[in-house]
Amino acid sequence: MDKNLIKELADYTHNAEKEKREITKITAELYPELTIEEGYLVQEEVINQKLEAGHKIIGPKMGITSEAKMKQMNVDNPIYGYVFDNMVVNEGDSISIDDYIHPKVEPEIGFILSRDLEGPNVTPLDVLRSTEYVFPAIEIIDSRYENFNFTLPDVVADNTSAAGAVFGTNLKRPDALDLDVVGVTLSINGEIRNLGAGAAVLGHPANSVARLANMLSEKGEKVKAGQPILTGGITTAVRLSSGDYVSAKYGGLGDISFFVK
């Protein structure tokens, strides 16, 4: 895949994000043969464009972290992207629906490491031993593709639909909780819309961080200490509308919420 094509496809997805408009997936017409590996090349160019524009990476985020979904998609690993500083929403604050295309939310468990983790062969136990805190989070996803219609290479190229993140301030030591059985309730306007538990994320959220470290090692990169890591959705994503009040309650990790204008 030559550099000109990488830039063309990166411009395609990144401009749609900046202009808040839907586009047809890359594999529909522009480049039907796009592979996951090539999708990451496009993602890297998008990330470089964001960095050149002055934005800063806050931390990585994982996607396709359900074993059933991975089997359905015929892949062995989840996918990853990055949350940037302009995507962060303070807990209890409001977002404007006009700043997105068709946003959805999903509750997640976040990790903050006390030391860098570098693969290969990182295990969940390595992750837990290296974790300073876990915390509740809500991710806002907003695929730039029409009707959230995409293949895996498409969504990788689109920085895995990254659009926003609300990081909870209730920090817990990982040994204070059984993270696989932490229950989560996602409510919109006081109505429960989804339920789940930490085990929905690859059996245990620490597995997600381990997979991330091992995938990044293939590029000579590592998971960095101090960065919030989103481990993947515990429930299916729920579409947002203007006027919504979004709340997620976590067993042992507290509550987190925000408003939609």
The domain that contains 123 carries what CATH number?
3.90.850.10
Quote the CA–CA distance of 17 and 58 in Å, as a whole number: 18
Q: What is the pLDDT of residue 74?
A: 80
Taking only the tens place, the pLDDT of each residue in 150-205 is 999 999 999 999 999 999 999 999 999 999 999 999 999 999 999 999 999 999 99
- pLDDT confidence of residue 71: 81
pLDDT digits (tens, 9 = 90+) for 114-163: 999 999 999 999 999 999 999 999 999 999 999 999 999 999 999 999 99
Q: Which pLDDT value is given to residue 215?
A: 97
Instruction: Give which of 16, 66, 67 is closest to 42, Cα–Cα.
Output: 16
- Please say whether the beta carbons of 9 and 153 come within 8 A: no
Q: Is the pLDDT of residue 25 over 80?
A: yes
For residue 190, is it left (φ>0), alpha (ψ between -120 and 50) or beta? left
Structure tokens at 193: 């819309």
pTM beyond 0.75, yes or no = yes
Domain that holds residue 217: 3-260
- What DSSP string describes 50-114? HHHTT--EEEEEEE---HHHHHHHT-SS-EEEEEEGGGEE-TT-EE-GGGSSS-EEEEEEEEEES
Domain count of the fold of the chain: 1
Per DSSP, the three-state class of 127 is: helix
3 state SS of 172: strand
In this structure, the dihedral spanned by the alpha carbons of residues 107, 251, 229 and 161, taken in order and rounded to 10 degrees, is -10
In this structure, the number of other CB atoms found within 10 A of the CB of residue 237 comes to 19
User: At 198, is the secondary structure helix, strand, or coil?
Assistant: helix
How many Å apart are CA 137 and CA 93, to the nearest integer?
Answer: 14
Q: How far apart are the first and last CA of the chain?
A: 42
Instruction: Report the percent of the chain where pLDDT is more than 70.
Output: 100
72 pLDDT above the threshold of 90? no
Question: What's the Cα-to-Cα distance from 174 to each of 58, 75, 81, 109, 165, rounded to whole Å?
Answer: 21, 29, 24, 11, 21
